[in-house]
């Protein structure tokens, strides 16, 4: 039996295993020099492409026979938005999208298939207007992207976008439930997020992520000019698989936390002298993705870790094993309660800056008192410490250490320059006014002035007039016992006691190790059921079997 497949130009085709294949090619252009692979008895999944050969016809297409299920999937999106489309209108839309002319009877049969099967749940995206309005007032164009598993009856992924407010706390913006974490789902999520936040395709935005599956390609496709940072903790987890120890960890974070290019180059030279292979491994990762020395100052944050999303995912543990509707309600209730909690914190806050910004500002002022300054002109100052010397430009609000540029908060060198201006009877005003508005208490309060409105229960919902029923997603039973806790890295696990302390009784063990939340067998040893010995079990016993 000969099967024909439709292949659009520049589109990959995936062939099922053991599928006898033959292809025929029809070119709509004037030059039919188009080559398509032929084959039969394919033993594994292969990937074929339409390959143009000495020919630049833009209208060239390979045309074959569409199956009813394929046609139904293609018109499903159109029917979701406009359920009353006629077969004639569907035929015109199909021809416009794929340059393939099919009969109206096939369109009617495809609609019949969809009517019998119904609409199956695939994805849902949630972004509240209150959170969007608050995010636009933050003044920090930074979003952390991450995903976590759903462990309920219908497995999937929760994709999240989390920002940071003026108090350096997480600010959830949007989330979505998708079937899998891949490039297609991340593109879909980022497209909707960009529309809600009014971000154009060429927006100079900043993202930070754990390099999730398909996320790098999705960000480059949707926002090609965006700054995409990588979480340094996850980079170090990959690095420590080969180079372990505090020495390599210190070298890596010294290079990652360097705020200026000269200090970064010095740190990389030290890594090169210590271990050349580690230097080459780090050199393959773009420096602008993981080192502060190459970050831009648009985000007003020098964040190296994606702890925002990790903290938000921790709050969703109670929702990840529930049905989809219950999971959504759980997340929405958490967001609502969090706004109320922050407003209570704001009511007790005092001062022109947020509590965390005030704490950081006090530390900067303490460090500034240890420096010496020399005035060059009205806006330029040279500031010295025991080991470094920096130049501060008060007019441009910059410093050669780049901390003021990165965070929007004056560094210790800039504060010492401001002190010198006060001593010379120059008008400075309140020092807190030199801090970026993103850290002001008034800005922080404006962000949380928007609340998520409550909704009534399901018994009061208005029935939908949608003509078909949405069926649940495909159910897939996971193998083994459902896991509640995530898999921890080797460095996160607590070190066990030495072997000489293994004779403690079980009460002492519970007292010492219950803080980790798990009980261990430390304190009593179990003997082998075969030989009665210690240190192994029945499966690993090497004693001969007695007959």
501 shares a domain with 398 = no
For residue 475, what pLDDT is reported? 66
pLDDT tens digit sequence for 211-243: 887 899 999 999 999 999 999 999 999 998 899
pLDDT greater at residue 157 or residue 490: 157
Residue 465 lies in a domain: no
Structural domains counted in the chain: 4
Candidates 458, 370, 364, 374; CA nearest to 415 is 364
Candidates 305, 166, 178, 159; CA nearest to 230 is 305
Domain boundary among 295, 317, 352: 352
Q: Is residue 503 packed enough to be buried (19+ CB in 10 Å), middle (13-18) or exposed (0-12)?
A: exposed
**What domain range includes position 422?**
355-439
Minimum mean pLDDT range among 5-9, 240-244, 315-319, 458-462? 5-9
pTM for the model: 0.70
Residue 481 lies in a domain: no
Q: Is residue 327 packed enough to be buried (19+ CB in 10 Å), middle (13-18) or exposed (0-12)?
A: buried
227 shares a domain with 127 = yes
- The Cα-based distances of 476 to 156, 396, 466, 482 in angstroms read 10, 58, 27, 13
pLDDT tens digit sequence for 397-429: 999 999 999 999 999 999 999 999 999 989 998
Count of residues making up the chain: 547
- Gyration radius of the chain's alpha carbons: 30
Residue 160 lies in a domain: yes
Distance, in Å, from the CA atom of 83 to the CA atom of 81, rounded to the nearest integer, reads: 6
pLDDT bucket at 36, cuts 50 / 70 / 90: very low
Residue 508 lies in a domain: yes
Q: What is the CATH number of the domain that holds 338?
A: 3.30.420
Domain boundary among 423, 439, 455: 439
With beta carbons less than 8 A apart as the criterion, state whether 452 and 335 touch: yes
DSSP string, 463-517: PP--SSPEEPPPP-PPSSSPP-SPPPPGGGSPPPPPGGGTT--HHHHHHHHGGGT
377 shares a domain with 334 = no
224 shares a domain with 126 = yes
With beta carbons less than 8 A apart as the criterion, state whether 163 and 143 touch: yes
223 shares a domain with 128 = yes
Residue 48 lies in a domain: yes
217 shares a domain with 314 = yes
Domain boundary among 439, 454, 482: 439
Residue 468 lies in a domain: no
pLDDT bucket at 499, cuts 50 / 70 / 90: very low
User: Tokens 């460090």 label which residue?
Assistant: 367
Distance, in Å, from the CA atom of 150 to the CA atom of 322, rounded to the nearest integer, reads: 8
Token output for 464: 């939908």
130 shares a domain with 213 = yes
340 shares a domain with 220 = yes
63 shares a domain with 36 = yes
186 shares a domain with 109 = no
146 shares a domain with 189 = yes
518 shares a domain with 425 = no
Residue 30 lies in a domain: yes
Residue 43 lies in a domain: yes
């Amino acid at each position: 039996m000969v099967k024909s497949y439709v292949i659009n130009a520049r589109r990959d085709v995936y062939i099922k295993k053991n599928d006898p294949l033959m292809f025929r090619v029809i070119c709509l252009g004037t030059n039919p020099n188009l080559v398509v692979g032929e084959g039969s008895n394919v033993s594994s999944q292969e990937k074929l492409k339409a390959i143009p050969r000495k020919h630049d016809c833009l209208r060239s297409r390979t045309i074959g026979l569409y199956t009813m299920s394929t046609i139904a999937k293609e018109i499903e999106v159109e029917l979701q938005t406009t359920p009353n489309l006629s077969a004639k209108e569907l035929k015109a839309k199909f021809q416009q999208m794929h340059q393939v002319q099919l009969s109206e009877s096939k369109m009617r049969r495809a609609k019949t298939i969809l009517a019998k099967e119904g609409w199956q749940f695939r994805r849902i995206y949630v972004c509240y207007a209150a959170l969007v309005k608050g995010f636009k007032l933050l003044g920090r164009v930074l979003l952390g992207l991450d995903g976590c598993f759903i462990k309920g009856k219908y497995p999937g992924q929760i994709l999240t976008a989390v920002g940071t407010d003026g108090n350096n706390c997480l600010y959830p913006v949007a989330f979505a439930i998708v079937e899998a974490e891949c490039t297609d789902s991340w593109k879909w999520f980022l497209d909707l997020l960009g529309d809600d936040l009014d971000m154009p395709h060429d927006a100079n935005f900043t993202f930070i992520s754990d390099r999730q599956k398909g996320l790098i390609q999705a960000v480059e496709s949707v926002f090609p000019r965006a700054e995409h940072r990588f979480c340094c903790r996850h980079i170090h987890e990959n690095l420590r698989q080969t180079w372990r120890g505090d020495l390599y960890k210190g070298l890596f974070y010294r290079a990652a936390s360097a705020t200026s290019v000269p200090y970064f180059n010095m740190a990389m030279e030290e890594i090169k002298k210590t271990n050349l292979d580690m230097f080459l491994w780090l050199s393959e990762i773009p420096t602008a993705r993981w080192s502060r020395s190459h970050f831009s100052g648009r985000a007003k944050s020098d964040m190296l870790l994606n702890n925002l999303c990790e903290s938000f995912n921790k709050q969703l543990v109670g929702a990840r094993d529930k049905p989809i509707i219950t999971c959504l309600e759980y997340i929405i209730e958490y967001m609502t309660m969090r706004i109320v909690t922050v407003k209570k914190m704001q009511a007790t806050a005092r001062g022109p800056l947020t509590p965390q910004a005030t704490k950081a500002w006090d530390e900067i002022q303490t460090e500034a008192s240890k420096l010496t300054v020399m005035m060059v002109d009205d806006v330029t100052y040279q500031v010295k410490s025991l080991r470094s010397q920096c130049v501060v430009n008060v007019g441009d609000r910059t410093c050669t250490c780049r901390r003021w540029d990165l965070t929007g908060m004056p560094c210790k060198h800039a504060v010492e320059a401001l002190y010198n201006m006060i001593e010379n009877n120059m008008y400075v005003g309140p020092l807190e006014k030199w801090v970026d508005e993103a850290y002001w208490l008034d800005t922080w309060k404006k962000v949380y002035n928007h609340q998520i409105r409550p909704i009534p229960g399901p018994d009061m919902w208005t029935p939908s007039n949608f003509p078909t029923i949405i069926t649940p997603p495909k159910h897939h039973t996971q193998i083994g016992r459902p896991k509640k806790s995530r898999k921890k890295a080797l460095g996160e696990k607590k070190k066990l006691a030495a072997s000489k302390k293994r004779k403690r009784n079980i009460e002492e063990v519970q007292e010492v190790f219950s803080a980790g939340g798990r009980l261990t067998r430390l304190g009593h040893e179990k003997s082998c059921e075969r030989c009665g010995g210690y240190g192994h079990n029945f499966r690993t016993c090497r004693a001969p079997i007695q007959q």
